[in-house]
Each structure stands twice: as C-alpha cells, then as structure tokens.
C-alpha cells in the first residue's frame, strides 16, 4: 500500500518514521502549505504541490492527514472524490457535527475512513480489550479516567493552538480525546454527563485547560473524568475500570489487573506518553501499528481498528461536557 502525508506539523515526523518501519506500506511523498517543510520531511520522496496532485497520483492508495482540524472537509473532499482512502489524525473536526460530516463525506465517496487513536495499539490496551470481551470480569460498575498532563505557555503561544476556530477547544479535544476514546472502547458509550470546564491561571488561552466531569454509562456504570494540561510536571494518563470480578488499571503503557480473589497481573511495558513538557515524548511504534492495521484493513476489506464512528462517539461526549459546563446542568450524549 502506498500513502501520501498531508501536513508537516508537530506529529508529521512521527508518521514519517512510522511509515518507514511499517510492514507493507510505502510513503510516496508529502504535501504541505510550506514547501520547505514538506521537502525536509520527504528527502528523496515526492513533494506534492497541492491536493489535486495527490488526488491525481495513481500510486497513492490512501492519505494520512495530520493538519489542524479547522479545514478537514476541504482536504478530505477532493481526495475522497478521487478514491483515496483516508487515515485522519484526531479529531475528525472541531465538533461532533463536523466529525459526522467527514464520516458521511467518506461514506458517500465509498472510501475507508480510519482515525489515529494510537493508544488502542499498545499491548496493554489490547490485553485489556481482550479481557473485557472475554466475559470473565463480570459487570462494570465504576470507571475513573485521569489525564494529568502539562503544557507550558510556549505551547499555546503558537497561533491558533487552544482556540475554538482552529482546534475546536483545549485539553479535551486536543489531548484527552485519546484517553476518552480508549475508555469508551472498553467501557461502552456514555449516556449523560455533568461537567465543569475552565481555564486556570497557568495559561493564557481561549479554550479550557482543566475539566472535571461525572459520567453515566449506557450500561449503568458511573464514572469520573479529570483532564488537564495545567498539572505540572505532567504525568501518565490512567484509566481504571472496576468490574465485579476484578479491577483493571491502564497507566504508562501497562495494564495492572487486581482480581477480587487476590490474584494480580501486569501486562505490557512502561513507556512515555507525552504527558509532560515534551508533547512528542513517545514511541512511533503505536502510530506504526495504526498505519499497518489501516493498510491491512484495506487489503482484507474490514473496518480499521478505530473508525469514524468511534471518533464521533468521543467527540459527542466532549461536546456534551462543554455544553454541561456552560449550562450548569447534566447533558445527554448523542452519538
């Protein structure tokens, strides 16, 4: 499978490295509004002048889009119309409504849409998913989600970062969405939420850098979420799920299982997740797994590990949390 990379921002180098190591995938070239940045990412590869050039390249099977979310439809539309499958960095758009529109655009064009939720690809996450699907844990009762990250002011000084116009919000949609997606994949959909979202004194930015919320899951479980980019020096995000027979805790790339009968298990290897001052302090291996899975899904005619519908579910919950913070009341979550 042959890919083209659209965008040359912070995460682009991670995707270049991931494609270089990916099994059965070749990165043909890069397109960016700034040609010099594209050239720096694609030594010896193609540098596309514009989206039309990518769309017209018969060798390109799919596009990896890593631009900010404020113009996603304008980027996806010509590529999908040309039959190029789409692998999008989160989020799909600035709102759940925009995310749904991206899904429909790809569906109407008959192309596959995948989302880069690389936290699903960790060995610990996969083991947790297998345990949950196996049925030995019993019913889920309580979910605790924490994202105690740190970003200094320099991070938000980049034009557009942490704004509604470019990013669609702050810590929820730009950072915590990964943990939210993984939690939903394990715990199921949320029915309603009540939240407070605000900006602390530690950042000058338009959107929120701190959120706390209570959630009610459709399966009857309850839970909490705390997400922040104001938690110096920053730590690993955690997801803890309490079932009848055991509690699962995902943290720093590891899964800790505490069975009610006294048994304890640990799966996976400890790893950095980008929660501190360096947002890129993580391995490209998880992105590599996302790209390999997407290519395999195209070959096998199956859904990718994370679909557009998965992204919509996460963004619908995020939108409901922001609405609840503004209204001061519980808000229903509409997938």
pLDDT at 228: 98
CATH of the domain at 126: 3.30.360.10
Rounded to 10 degrees, the C-alpha dihedral 228/231/237/241 comes to -70
Question: Is residue 39's pLDDT more than 70?
Answer: yes
Where a domain ends, among 57, 90, 118? 118
CB-count exposure of residue 256 (10 Å: 0-12, 13-18, 19+): middle
- Check: CB of residue 226 under 8 Å from CB of residue 179: no
Taking the model in full, what pTM does it have? 0.94
Where a domain ends, among 118, 138, 159? 118
Residues 6+ apart with CB under 8 A from 315: 91, 92, 93, 95, 96, 99, 173, 177
Question: Is residue 53's pLDDT more than 80?
Answer: yes
pLDDT tens figures, 246-281 = 999 999 889 999 999 999 999 988 876 666 656 656
Q: Does 243 fall in a domain? A: yes
- Mean pLDDT over residues 150-164, rounded? 96
- Same domain, residue pair 110 and 183: no
- Check: CB of residue 242 under 8 Å from CB of residue 135: no
CB-count exposure of residue 255 (10 Å: 0-12, 13-18, 19+): buried
- Check: CB of residue 321 under 8 Å from CB of residue 333: no
- Same domain, residue pair 44 and 73: yes
Q: Tell me which residue range forms the domain holding 165.
A: 120-280+305-332
DSSP label at residue 91: P
Q: Does 75 fall in a domain? A: yes
- Same domain, residue pair 147 and 214: yes
- Same domain, residue pair 139 and 72: no
CATH of the domain at 99: 3.40.50.720
pLDDT tens figures, 92-137 = 999 999 999 999 999 999 999 999 999 999 999 999 999 999 999 9
């Amino acid at each position: 499978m042959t890919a083209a990379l659209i965008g040359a921002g912070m995460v682009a180098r991670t995707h270049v490295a991931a494609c270089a190591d990916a099994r059965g995938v070749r990165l043909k070239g890069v397109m960016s509004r700034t040609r010099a940045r594209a050239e720096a990412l694609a030594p010896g590869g193609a540098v596309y002048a514009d989206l039309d050039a990518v769309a017209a390249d018969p060798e390109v099977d799919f596009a990896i889009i890593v631009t900010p979310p404020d113009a996603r439809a304008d980027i996806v539309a010509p590529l999908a119309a040309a039959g190029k499958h789409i692998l999008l960095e989160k989020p799909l758009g600035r709102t759940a409504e925009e995310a749904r529109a991206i899904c429909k655009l790809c569906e109407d064009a008959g192309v596959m849409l995948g989302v880069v939720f690389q936290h699903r690809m960790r060995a610990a996450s996969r083991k947790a998913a297998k345990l949950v699907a196996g049925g030995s844990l019993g019913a889920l009762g309580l979910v605790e989600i924490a994202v105690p990250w740190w970003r200094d002011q320099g991070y938000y000084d980049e034009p557009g970062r942490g704004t509604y116009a470019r990013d669609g919000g702050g810590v929820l949609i730009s950072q915590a969405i990964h943990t939210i997606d993984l939690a939903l994949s394990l715990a199921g959909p949320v029915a309603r939420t009540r939240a407070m979202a605000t900006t602390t004194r530690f950042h000058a930015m338009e959107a929120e850098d701190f959120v706390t919320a209570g959630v009610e899951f459709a399966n009857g479980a309850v839970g909490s979420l705390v997400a922040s980019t104001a938690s110096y020096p920053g730590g690993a995000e955690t997801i803890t799920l309490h079932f009848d027979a055991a509690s699962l805790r995902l943290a720093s790339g590891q899964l800790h299982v505490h069975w009610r009968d006294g048994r304890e298990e640990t799966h996976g290897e400890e790893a950095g997740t980008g929660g501190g001052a360096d947002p890129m302090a993580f391995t490209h291996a998880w992105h590599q797994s996302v790209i390999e899975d997407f290519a395999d899904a195209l070959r096998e005619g199956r859904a990718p590990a994370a679909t557009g519908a998965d992204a919509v579910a996460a963004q619908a919950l995020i939108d409901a949390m922001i609405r609840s913070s503004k209204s001061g009341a519980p808000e229903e979550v509409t997938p």
